[in-house]
Amino acid sequence: MPALGLGTWLADPGKVHQAARHALEAGYLHIDCAAIYGNEEEVGQGIAEAIEAGDITRDELFVTSKLWNDSHKPEHVRPAIEKTLDDLGLEQLDLYLIHWPIAFRHGVEFPQSREDYLTLEEAPLEETWKAMMELKEAGLTKHIGVSNMGPERLQALAEVGEMPAVVQVECHPHLQQRELLDFCNEHDILLTAYSPLGSPGRQHKAGDEPPLLDHPTITSIADELDATSAQVLIAWAMARDTVVIPKSTNPGRIEENFGALDVELTDEHMAEIAKLDKGYRYLDGEFFADEKSPYEASKIWV
Ligand code: A2P
């Protein structure tokens, strides 16, 4: 799995087609998608054009997508990947993830009331996982994994079949995920870091940490290496052997982020950045754990 990929969350459908096309021309070999991002058709157009232009072959490219929360019931899993494959214009994914350990009634994009949710008793993740394993057997995806989960859930899934190959979680210097990373290293799981720049494009909330891109430790390392803050954050993720998927639809920033592959941090830099951990989530899951939800924020990432 290529260590650096293009993220596509909050990538406007009007822009992401060119962004994907540009990234593949610039050398990216990996794109991270999801059905709920509402832009897979446009990403697919960018991929098709890059293949057509000879910038990349399908075999060189690694494409990830994710199963939305409304399709956890086993009978909805295969139709969901088929829709994603159709939108992306692909015959097979490289990786398919369960997006969240949270279930909705079929057809619900974002819940409006308690009735829109299913509990994990009503839609057990283990049953969803068995249906994911069937997708792999059917050749619709090469690998399967999960997102927004921790060691407890990974272990529970392994008990009904195989261990997820990948776990994708928010990860950056303020949320270093050490316990999960240790678990992953022990069990041969790859950790993919989302929001590696601290997700500056998301909706801000009261009491947010200041943007990571402006953190003095990061900017001073960037100055020293003649790199940018974004490149330092991306290089830090790769230096820890995690996979990293910064999102951008801006051609200059897409190239800048790719340039992180040439940025080498020293042990001293790594030690400095290690001190920034504060278990802080920019994306705290509150949107799935408000008063109408049967889920509790503190139990999402276990
Ligand atoms: P844009 O798409 O306009 O470039 P994350 O991956 O942590 O969620 O961060 C994505 C956000 O960071 C997007 O808003 C993106 O905006 C912005 N971004 C991506 N690359 C850079 C960069 N190199 N410098 C500054 N901001 C960036």
- Determine which residue's CA is closest to atom 12 belonging to ligand 1: 200
Q: Is the pLDDT of residue 78 over 90?
A: yes
Instruction: State pLDDT tens for residues 95-149.
Output: 999 999 999 999 999 999 999 999 999 999 999 999 999 999 999 999 999 999 9
Contact 24, 50 (CB under 8 A): yes
Q: Whose CA is nearest to atom 13 of ligand 1?
A: 201
Look at the chain and count its residues. 302
**Is 215 among the annotated ligand-binding positions?**
no
* ipTM, two decimals: 0.97
CA distances (Å), origin 210, targets 7, 53, 72, 272: 22, 41, 36, 18
pTM of the complete model beyond 0.90:
yes
Q: Is 13 in the pocket of ligand 1 (CB under 6 A)?
A: no
Domain boundaries, given as residue ranges, for the chain:
6-205+240-249+277-299
Sign of the alpha-carbon torsion through 160, 162, 163, 167? negative
The answer to whether residue 194 is catalytic is no
Does the Cβ of 285 fall within 6 Å of ligand 1?
no
Does ligand 1 have an atom closer than 6 angstroms to the CB of 192? no
Of all protein residues, the one whose alpha carbon is nearest to atom 21 of ligand 1 is 253
Cα separations in angstroms, 245 against 12, 186, 220: 17, 23, 23
- Assess whether the C-beta atom of 248 lies below 6 angstroms from ligand 1: yes
Residue of 37, 96, 194, 295 marked active site: 37
pLDDT band (50, 70, 90) for residue 206: confident
Nearest-CA residue for ligand 1 atom 9 is: 199
Nearest atom of ligand 1 to the alpha carbon of 256: 23
Q: How far is the CA of 253 from the centre of ligand 1 (A)?
A: 7
- Most informative mutation of 248, 258, 261, 281 for ligand 1 (most atoms within 8 A of CB): 248
172: closest CA among 156, 143, 194, 140? 194
Atom of ligand 1 nearest to the CA of 253: 23
Query: Per CATH, which fold does 6-205+240-249+277-299 belong to?
Result: TIM Barrel (3.20.20)
DSSP string, the chain: --SB-EE-TT--HHHHHHHHHHHHHHT--EEE--GGGS-HHHHHHHHHHHHHTTS--GGG-EEEEEE-GGG-SHHHHHHHHHHHHHHHT-S-EEEEEE--S-EE-TT-SS-SSGGGEE-TTTS-HHHHHHHHHHHHHTTSEEEEEEES--HHHHHHHHHTSPPPSEEEEE-BTTB--HHHHHHHHHHT-EEEEESTT--TTS---TTPPPPGGG-HHHHHHHHHHT--HHHHHHHHHHHTT-EE--B---HHHHHHHHGGGG----HHHHHHHHTT-----SS-SGGGSSTT-S--GGGTT-
pLDDT in tens, 239-276: 999 999 999 999 999 999 999 999 999 999 999 999 99
